[in-house]
Amino acid sequence: MNPPLAERMRPRTLDDYVGQQHLVGKDAVLRSSIQKGQIPSIIFWGPPGVGKTTLAQIIAKELKRPFYLLSAINSGVKDVRAAIKKAESQRFFNQGSPILFIDEIHRFSKSQQDSLLGAVEKGIITLIGATTENPSFEVISALLSRCQVYVLEHLGREDLVSIANNALTRDTELRAREIQISEYEALLKYSNGDARRLLNVLELVLNQSEENKITLDNDMVEHVIQKNLVLYDKTGEQHYDTISAFIKSVRGSDPDAAIYYLARMIEGGEDPIFICRRLIILAAEDIGLANPNALLMANACFDAVQKIGLPEGRILMAEATIYLATSPKSNSAYMAIGAAMQEVSKSGNLSIPLHLRNAPTSLMKDIGYGKGYIYTHEESVPDTYHYLPSELKGRRFYVPKSVGNEGRIAQKAHSGTPEGPRKEE
């Protein structure tokens, strides 16, 4: 059976490799290392279809080293140890260490990653790992410290056009037909910066026609593909990046950007309850007392979306998102509890003033519990009166902002700045 076009077009040399010029272009760091014949263990971090596996294979070929490939999806510690043992048996004097390539290394558990450490430290293998996830979170620190991390980027328009044209002129099957591409926009849209997806789409569209002579345009691609498959990994980096952009757009009072990222999450199949939880947190953390109704709106949205679900729930989430994005912002409550918790961690359980203590027994009253407490509904409080422990007398944790509803609080509340760090987050 003939392999797919994406596999047939896999580059075999650095000169055939398209994209990632910051790594493999003229005088780039990785190309220089390859030319010198000395490469460290490496982690390739980047989205799918940008050439991580291909680049690892090219490195092994250029350096004339044995190449072993494991997929973290179906390999365990036993497979890792077997590959290391085989690599050790094939290592010869003055020859570079064999390359062990582990695809989706972020799926390896800690114990699986630990099993690589000794071989990497001793130089038995040169490890090349590929991951679509941030290695800072997914690769154990001991292994990460022994590897050089290279970031691979989505392929740009010129790279993708070049890959598509190369397929038409170099692939034996496609070259036998008269194929021209008159419009690239739909192909590029559905590829989403992924070379493998680009070639899969191209092959799918061309396979729908039995004609030998084809002019491929946007309408032909749209007709075959029907609908763009949104690139949104609900458990991976896209998930965290998109929700981060959504949160920061609401916080930054940009309703258009907030709605855009909301649409991306909904279209990508994100759990609407997850989105609603974030709206509640945003209402409390970033809007807070500047508009207390924001929390009511977010809670109402959460309850309503739970009841009706999608697709109608998108309207409620859009309404809440726009309301929160256009509300005045204050993180004073968030900063106040953060500063107070920091003080508690630093100073521990300071003695509570006697006049504030509970005095349910006569003994407690006799030793001063509750003595001097002022019931503020009946008496005015003198300036010398305090509620904080004596060590923190005069300390300010809550500093109201002069925006929205909180502006009225600020006029009545205390002034001054609490001690310690108060930088905004």
pLDDT at 424 over 80: no
pLDDT of the residue at 413: 58
What's the CATH code of the domain at 168?
A: 1.10.8.60
Report the 10 Å Cβ neighbour count for 27. Answer: 7
Question: Mean pLDDT highest for which of 93-97, 128-132, 362-366?
Answer: 128-132
Torsion of CA 42, 47, 51, 52, to 10 degrees: 20
In this structure, are 32 and 134 located in the same domain? yes
Last residue of a domain, one of 202, 225, 248: 225
pLDDT of the residue at 79: 84
pLDDT of the residue at 416: 40
In this structure, are 183 and 122 located in the same domain? no
pLDDT of the residue at 425: 35
Residue 130 bridge partners (DSSP): 44, 103
Range 296-300 average pLDDT? 96
In this structure, are 146 and 24 located in the same domain? yes
Instruction: Indicate the pLDDT class of residue 234, thresholds 50, 70 and 90.
Output: low
CA distance 413 to 216: 69
Range 364-393 average pLDDT? 83
Residue 307 belongs to domain spanning: 237-326
Cβ proximity of 311 and 265 under 8 Å: no
Q: What are phi and psi of 102, to 5 degrees?
A: -120, 110
Tokens 């396979």, located at residue: 207
Tokens (6 digits) for 229: 């498959």
Tokens 């003695």, located at residue: 351
Question: Mean pLDDT highest for which of 101-105, 223-227, 231-235?
Answer: 101-105
CA distance 212 to 397: 76
Query: ∠ CA(408), CA(340), CA(276), 5° rounding?
Result: 70
CA distance 377 to 207: 83
Last residue of a domain, one of 175, 205, 225: 225
Higher pLDDT, 239 or 357: 357
pLDDT at 229 over 90: no
In this structure, are 264 and 301 located in the same domain? yes
Residue 373 is assigned to a structural domain of this protein: no
Cβ proximity of 199 and 49 under 8 Å: no
In this structure, are 27 and 115 located in the same domain? yes
In this structure, are 33 and 145 located in the same domain? yes
pLDDT at 421 over 80: no
Last residue of a domain, one of 326, 343, 368: 326
Phi-psi region of 290 (alpha: psi -120 to 50; beta: other; left: phi over 0): alpha
In this structure, are 194 and 253 located in the same domain? no
Instruction: Indicate the pLDDT class of residue 235, thresholds 50, 70 and 90.
Output: low
Q: Between helices 313-326 and 255-267, what is the axis angle to 10°?
A: 150
Domains in the chain, number:
3
In this structure, are 134 and 218 located in the same domain? no
Question: Mean pLDDT highest for which of 232-246, 300-314, 361-375?
Answer: 300-314
> What are 316-371's pLDDT values in tens digits?
999 999 999 999 999 999 999 988 888 888 888 888 888 888 888 888 788 888 88
Least confident of 56-65, 153-162, 208-217, 249-258: 208-217
In this structure, are 263 and 217 located in the same domain? no
Q: What percent of the chain has pLDDT over 70?
A: 92
> What are 249-271's pLDDT values in tens digits?
999 999 999 999 999 888 877 88
**What is the chain's mean pLDDT, rounded?**
84
> What are 8-37's pLDDT values in tens digits?
889 888 888 888 889 988 888 899 999 888
Residue 265 is assigned to a structural domain of this protein: yes
Q: Between helices 272-282 and 313-326, what is the axis angle to 10°?
A: 20
In the chain, the largest separation of any two C-alpha atoms, in whole Å, equals: 103
Range 293-301 average pLDDT? 96
pLDDT of the residue at 241: 81
- Cis check for the bond before 255: say yes or no (omega within 30 of 0): no
> What are 343-352's pLDDT values in tens digits?
888 888 888 8
